[in-house]
Amino acid sequence: MTTQRAEFDADTTVTPAGAGRYAAQLAPGWKVGGGLNGGYQLAVIGTAISAHLPEKPDPVAISAYFLSAAEAGPATVDVEVKRAGGRMSTVAAEMTQGDATRVSVLATYSDLDRFDGDVRTTAVEPELPPREECVGRADVPSYVLEMAPLMSRFDMLFPREQSGWTVGEHTGEGRFQAWFRLADDREPDPLALLLVLDALPPVTFDLGLVGWAPTLELSAHVRAKPAPGWLKVQHHTRNLAGGMFEEDCEVWDSTGRLVAQSRQLALAPRAS
């Protein structure tokens, strides 16, 4: 019996191409605005690093600088080990297309199964309505779907009180919360979390600024392997200034555990 490969896995596949080098084929379905989604690019790079560190396959901390807009098509990821420790290894990686460097990364990897299970947190899990009461992709305006084809790669379900952006309204709070699941019912794992951390619409949509918000820098922390099932994702910003805004993200798994966190600095969409 054969099973169809999940779209995310197919689109993040890498192939060894020499010492520390991996070839990738960036898929057009992850486009948003003027380039490919940053979380998708990070997942491709993360997959290459995992292939390079088979005994430490899980991302723990990643800092990524997005230097130019990636396009669908061939790409190369070069990985260099900076420090190989017993429990963790740190690597530098770059993704290029032709002569253009797209993303530069410094990352720490490990095996999350080896981590201590003790959890002490003051973070509060988002309280979301039942999924059947939320607003999904069918309610998103066509012009947003045209700008962000990647929204067809997964399911996002927003509480109705946070879905005003779908009809041109906004709360001004700069906050989004949503249920999240990859297409094909593909279960989450540490590499998929790299995508999830950058998957929701920019929180500037809730400030009345709708459009592409290219990421300048993103720091991601994967805190645990997620349990199967739907994820809860929360994004918010506190300061938009100088044409830039920070966006903080938390991802919670189906057991109520905080499994990933990130902060990114991005360019704000231009006011229409």
Q: Which residues of 232-246 are buried (b: 16+ CB within 10 A; e: fewer)?
A: bbbbbbeebeeeebb
pLDDT for 163 beyond 60: yes
- Tell me, yes or no, whether 119 lies in a domain: no
**Domain assignment of residue 108, given as a range:** 7-112+128-267
Q: Are 178 and 233 in contact (CB under 8 A)?
A: yes
- Tens digits of per-residue pLDDT, 17-32? 999 999 999 999 999 8
Nearest CA to 40 among 205, 218, 168? 218
CA dist 30 and 152 (Å) reads 9
1: pLDDT strictly greater than 60: no
* Residue pLDDT, tens place only, 91-146: 999 999 999 999 999 999 999 999 988 889 999 999 999 999 998 888 777 777 78
The residue type at 129? P
Q: Is there a domain that residue 184 lies in?
A: yes
Residue 153 lies in a domain: yes
Q: What is the pLDDT of residue 270?
A: 79
In a domain, 117, yes or no: no
- Give me the pLDDT at residue 2, please: 35
52-102 residue pLDDT tens: 999 999 999 999 999 999 999 999 999 999 999 999 999 999 999 999 999
> Residue range 196-219: average pLDDT?
93
24 in a domain, yes or no?
yes
Q: If you search the block for the tokens 């067809």, which residue do you land on?
A: 152
CA-nearest of 77, 40, 61, 72 to 192 is 40
Contact 227, 254 (CB under 8 A): yes
Q: Which of 13-17, 82-86, 150-154, 196-200 has the lowest mean pLDDT?
A: 150-154
- The candidate with the shortest Cα–Cα distance to 233, out of 166, 149, 173, 176, is 176
C-alpha angle 178-151-183 in degrees, rounded to nearest 5: 85
Residue 205 CA, distance from chain mean position: 18
On whether residue 248 sits in a domain, the answer given is yes
Q: ∠ CA 148-73-186 to the nearest 5 degrees?
A: 55
In a domain, 81, yes or no: yes
Backbone torsions φ then ψ of 249, nearest 5 degrees:
-130, 145
Average pLDDT, the chain: 93
Look at residue 243 in the predicted model and tell me its pLDDT.
95
Q: Is residue 135 part of a domain?
A: yes
Counting residues of the chain whose pLDDT is more than 90, the rounded percentage is: 79
Tally of structural domains, the chain: 1
Q: Which residues contact 271 (CB under 8 A, 6 or more apart)?
A: 208, 209
CATH number at residue 229: 2.40.160.210
Question: Per mean pLDDT, which of 107-121, 156-170, 249-263 is the most reliable?
Answer: 249-263
